[in-house]
């Protein structure tokens, strides 16, 4: 009887161990080298594709970073952002907050490379996270160690986008509150906004500071430059009318953003508020003077952002095509 009991106990422990490996629980669900056994080259494949795409289309690196933000801020880091509008369900990509986002088609390029090595193994959510990590490096930013093991959402959250993603004209209090709800403190929030160091902004999002009168917080010379880039108060959203976030190092993720903000050359309203609000100004000044410190805090913020409420274990799925939920 004792032997039988011991045998049953051993079998039960073995079962629990196996089940835990399949569906771990708690924050430990995300882990380093999640694909170490199931797809050993997964992270290397993503890196190779990101580098290849960067060499062909440099702006993809900025897109990867923006994808991470837009995906993780809305509900979860679950690749819901990538779903297409289908069967009456609106895509998050089609909302006004996603205006100007591009290069989604190249996510499929990365996915195809992974599928050829490890079919139905690497999630689109992890592609979003790891492509952002490698894109940051291509932009001259820090190497950020990210955990993996995210699963893909089976639904879009388009109706939550407007309330989840801060508007460029929101108050700094609203921005701090939204990021704070995800576990990002004020220092991390200031660092994360440093992503505005790269890329560009369409005039649709700039004219409010230029017309009918110029925002008095704007440097006059800089305001003149912006009006030259955006000559009318009602720009065509489909036209190529934009300004670089940073005129000096537009494709380098560096602390020039903070130097510009201190000189009243913040592109968006929320950028300029960072320098004037007493809660954020000290961090702006320190980051403007220390690029290493900015990179350190930016890396910390990206880790927190990338781990916002992920689907793991038995939740969600691993999509075969990042644009659509699986058919079975």
Query: Per residue of the chain (328 residues), what is the pLDDT tens digit?
Result: 444 444 444 444 344 344 434 433 334 489 999 999 999 999 999 999 999 999 999 999 999 999 999 999 999 999 999 999 998 889 999 998 888 898 999 999 999 999 999 999 999 999 999 999 999 999 999 999 999 999 999 999 999 999 999 988 899 999 999 999 999 999 999 999 999 999 999 999 999 999 999 999 999 999 999 999 999 999 999 898 999 888 899 999 999 999 999 999 999 999 999 999 999 999 999 999 999 999 999 999 999 999 999 999 999 999 999 999 998 6
Q: Could you tell me what percentage of the chain is helix, strand and coil, using 3-state DSSP and rounding each to the nearest 5? A: 55, 5, 40
249 is annotated as contributing to ligand binding: yes
Between the CA of residue 227 and those of 194, 223, 301, what are the distances in Å? 23, 6, 33
Q: Tell me if 71 is assigned to a ligand binding site.
A: yes
Examine the residue annotation and report whether 117 is marked as an active-site residue of this protein: no
Q: What is the pTM of this model?
A: 0.90
Q: Is 196 annotated as a binding residue?
A: yes
CA atoms of 79 and 72, how far apart (whole Å): 8
- Distance, in Å, from the CA atom of 134 to the CA atom of 60, rounded to the nearest integer, reads 11
Q: What is the rounded CA–CA span in Å between residue 94 and residue 101? A: 10
Candidates 218, 197, 188, 196; CA nearest to 283 is 188
Is position 277 annotated in a ligand binding site?
Answer: no
Catalytic residue among 70, 202, 264, 295: 70
Does 254 show up as a binding residue in the annotation?
yes
């Amino acid at each position: 009887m004792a032997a039988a009991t011991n045998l049953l106990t051993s079998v039960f422990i073995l079962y629990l161990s196996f089940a835990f490996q399949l569906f771990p629980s708690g924050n430990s669900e995300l882990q380093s080298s999640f694909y170490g056994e199931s797809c050993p080259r997964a992270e290397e494949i993503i890196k190779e594709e990101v580098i290849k795409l960067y060499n062909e289309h440099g702006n993809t690196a900025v897109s990867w970073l923006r994808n991470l933000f837009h995906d993780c801020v809305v509900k979860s880091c679950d690749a819901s952002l990538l779903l297409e509008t289908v069967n009456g369900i609106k895509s998050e990509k089609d909302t006004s907050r996603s205006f100007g986002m591009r290069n989604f088609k190249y996510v499929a390029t990365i996915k195809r490379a992974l599928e050829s090595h490890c079919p139905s193994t690497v999630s689109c959510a992890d592609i979003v996270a790891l492509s952002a990590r490698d894109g940051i490096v291509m932009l001259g930013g820090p190497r950020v160690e990210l955990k993996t093991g995210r699963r893909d959402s089976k639904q879009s959250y388009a109706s939550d986008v407007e309330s989840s993603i801060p508007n460029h004209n929101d108050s700094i209090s609203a921005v701090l509150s939204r990021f704070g709800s995800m576990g990002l403190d004020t220092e991390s929030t200031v660092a994360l906004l440093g992503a505005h160091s790269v890329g560009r902004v369409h005039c649709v999002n700039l004219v409010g500071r230029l017309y009918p009168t110029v925002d008095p917080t704007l440097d006059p010379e800089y305001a003149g430059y912006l009006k030259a880039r955006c000559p009318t108060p009602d720009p065509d959203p489909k036209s190529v009318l934009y300004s670089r976030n940073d005129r000096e190092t537009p494709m380098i993720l560096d602390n020039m953003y903070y130097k510009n903000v201190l000189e009243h050359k913040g592109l968006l309203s929320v950028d300029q508020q960072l320098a004037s609000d007493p809660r954020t100004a000290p961090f702006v000044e320190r980051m403007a003077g220390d690029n290493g410190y900015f990179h350190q805090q930016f890396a910390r913020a990206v880790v927190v952002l990338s781990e916002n409420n992920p689907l793991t274990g038995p939740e969600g799925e691993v999509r075969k095509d990042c644009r659509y939920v699986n058919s079975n």
